[in-house]
Structure 1
Amino acid sequence: MARKSFGQHFLLDLNITRKIARLADLRPGDAVIEVGPGPGGLTRALVETGARVIAVEKDQRFRPLLEELAAASAGALTLVIGDALKVDEAALAGGPAHVVSNLPYNVGTPLLIKWLTGPWTPRSLTLMFQKEVAARIAAQPGAEAYGRLAVIAQATSEARVVMDVPARAFTPPPKVESAVVRLTPRADRPSAQRLDALQTVTAAAFGQRRKMLRASLKTLAHEGGGGEALALAAGLDPQARAETVDVAGFLRLADAWLRTRDA
């Protein structure tokens, strides 16, 4: 039985799980991490690809079933009982790896931020989210869903929604629709310092969405002129609002903030 506290909704439809595995574009021998396998619906489809699957499950109730799957997989499946927010993916995979998961709803966004901004960079991410969250990841400037998550996701990855999944495909059916997002790391992924700065400036800018940049960035200003000077240093209109600024603009803003901070 699914636990509401864990945000569990299990995907058991073989047609859908196999399609997700195909969208992940896995090759035999590839390492792939799956978070929240539950009863193993998607896990089976991943093993079928010939990939080496590391399944991270927090709910002990699924341990016997997943251990049975692992025993029958001829070494293709490794089970890790633990909290995905705390595991060391590099150590688990022993090198580069893909991530493919029907993520538990209550930890989907924190896990994505961990994988996008942390020290370990996945080869690719093929992830199921609530449709609303998927829209926020892929949103473009000016869209209602465009915000901090879109900027961070798109600064670090090529992000696109590749599949919609109806609620009836899950057990139990959630109250919302879902979607699969495919993210591939960008070759020009920002450095760790620049990424930290991007997180800081987007938190300030989107923390007060209705305000102009000159007001929302005021708390970040380290010299005369306040938020207006910081926006101008990034080549941005101080009267613009955060939801109209593209990813490149936010990266320039991060650079400008680093210059003023370190001056």
Structure 2
Amino acid sequence: MSAIDGLPPLRQVIATHGLSARKSLGQNFLLDLNLTAKIARHAGDLSASDVLEIGPGPGGLTRGLLAEGARRVLAIEKDARCLPALAEIAEAYPGRLEVIEGDALKIDPLAHLTPPIRIAANLPYNVGTELLVRWLTPPEWPPFWESLTLMFQREVAERITATPGSKAYGRLALLAAWRAEARIVLSLPPEAFTPPPKVSSAVVHLTALPEPRYPADPKVLERVVAAAFNQRRKMLRAALKGLAPDIEDRLIAAGIAPTERAEQVPLEAFCALARAVAAG
């Protein structure tokens, strides 16, 4: 499919505007509009939602989201070179695309969005994990977003969706599972991108739960999980000894053997431990 909207194919857009991908910005452009439309469909029914997109680049996914019926798209782009290409898309979809130039880590998009809100993005590799953690750890829950449909390096996608007992299981998996339903919905080889990255990629779809799966204070849970996985090869009684002098008793109270290692402990037990630690 060379076009989904009467606009030029992406290779032509990139050539016209001189948009070679920049490694410093974590850019790898996805040029196949069939694929960008497929990613947009994985985001669900967009007709009644505003969509936040981070790092649209030349606008492949942007076009997919709009062609699939997104009510409105807010695209945040750091690379000023991409703005003329995005302006052409805005012209083709009057009133449905707003582009903000700037750093997604520093911009509050909420003033520009009307709920319900979904987030869909081929995230720049260098900020993807940080943005995900922010979206999963807001001060209040439920968050401003209903779902996240995000492209990551395959290894990161596996860490987000990992289960206890696997090497990929850790802080990201626990953060995601505590407050969301997360699954990998699409895998992409390096050659799908320009330039091809050294690794495969995958799209993860996360749906926000109305409330966390198990009760726990977010800050205490984060502290417990960070301490447990910072020394993941140690038994928990050693890895967590800095949290409380009687940590063995608290582990037992939470139903966790003190000799267990972090990667064996399910989310429910970590939440029970966070409650035991918070109890003082």
Does the TM-score normalized on the shorter chain lie above 0.5? yes
Structure 2 residue corresponding to 1:39, chosen from 47, 58, 61: 58
Q: Within 2, Cα distance between the matches of 1:189 and 1:98? A: 19
Residue 73 of structure 1 corresponds to 93
Alignment of 1:212-251 (within 5 A): 212-221=235-244, 224-225=245-246, 227-251=247-271
Q: Which moved more, 1:20-29 or 1:160-169?
A: 20-29
Q: For residues 105-153 of structure 1, what are the alpha-carbon distances to aligned partners after superposition, in whole Å with 9 as ceiling and x for unaligned?
A: 0111000001111244410000000000000000100001101110111
Residue 89 of structure 1 corresponds to 109
Structure 1 residue corresponding to 2:228, chosen from 192, 205, 210: 205
TM-score under structure 1 normalisation?
0.93
Q: Within 1, Cα distance between the matches of 2:83 and 2:103? A: 14
Q: 1:161 and 2:184 equivalent?
A: yes
RMSD of the alignment, in Å?
A: 1.6
Q: Name segments (4+ residues, structure 1) moved above 3 Å.
A: 190-193
Q: Within 1, Cα distance between the matches of 2:278 and 2:119? A: 32
Letter in 1 for 2:166: A
Conserved in 1, the CA contact under 8 Å of 2:51 and 2:120? yes
Structure 1 residue corresponding to 2:68, chosen from 49, 52, 77: 49
Q: Which moved more, 1:247-256 or 1:190-199?
A: 190-199
Distance 1:32 1:57, change over 3 A: same
Letter in 1 for 2:239: S
Q: 1:9 and 2:28 equivalent?
A: yes
Conserved in 2, the CA contact under 8 Å of 1:50 and 1:76? no
Structure 2 residue corresponding to 1:186, chosen from 209, 219, 228: 209
Q: Within 1, Cα distance between the matches of 2:51 and 2:193? A: 22
Q: Within 1, Cα distance between the matches of 2:197 and 2:181? A: 28
In terms of fraction of residues, the more helix-rich structure is: 1
Residue 21 of structure 1 corresponds to 40
Q: Within 1, Cα distance between the matches of 2:95 and 2:216? A: 39
Q: 1:107 and 2:130 equivalent?
A: no
Q: 1:258 and 2:259 equivalent?
A: no
Letter in 1 for 2:184: V
Unaligned stretches of 5+ in structure 2?
Answer: 1-19
Conserved in 1, the CA contact under 8 Å of 2:216 and 2:274? no
SS at match of 2:146: coil
Residue 117 of structure 1 corresponds to 137
Residue 9 of structure 2 corresponds to none
Q: Within 2, Cα distance between the matches of 1:89 and 1:158? A: 23
Distance 1:77 1:192, change over 3 A: farther
Shift of 1:193: 7.2
Q: Within 2, Cα distance between the matches of 1:44 and 1:131? A: 24
Distance 1:228 1:150, change over 3 A: same
Letter in 2 for 1:244: Q
Aligned residues: 257
Conserved in 2, the CA contact under 8 Å of 1:215 and 1:228? no
Conserved in 2, the CA contact under 8 Å of 1:117 and 1:192? no
Q: Within 1, Cα distance between the matches of 2:185 and 2:101? A: 29
Identical aligned pairs, as a percentage?
A: 54
Unaligned stretches of 5+ in structure 1?
Answer: none
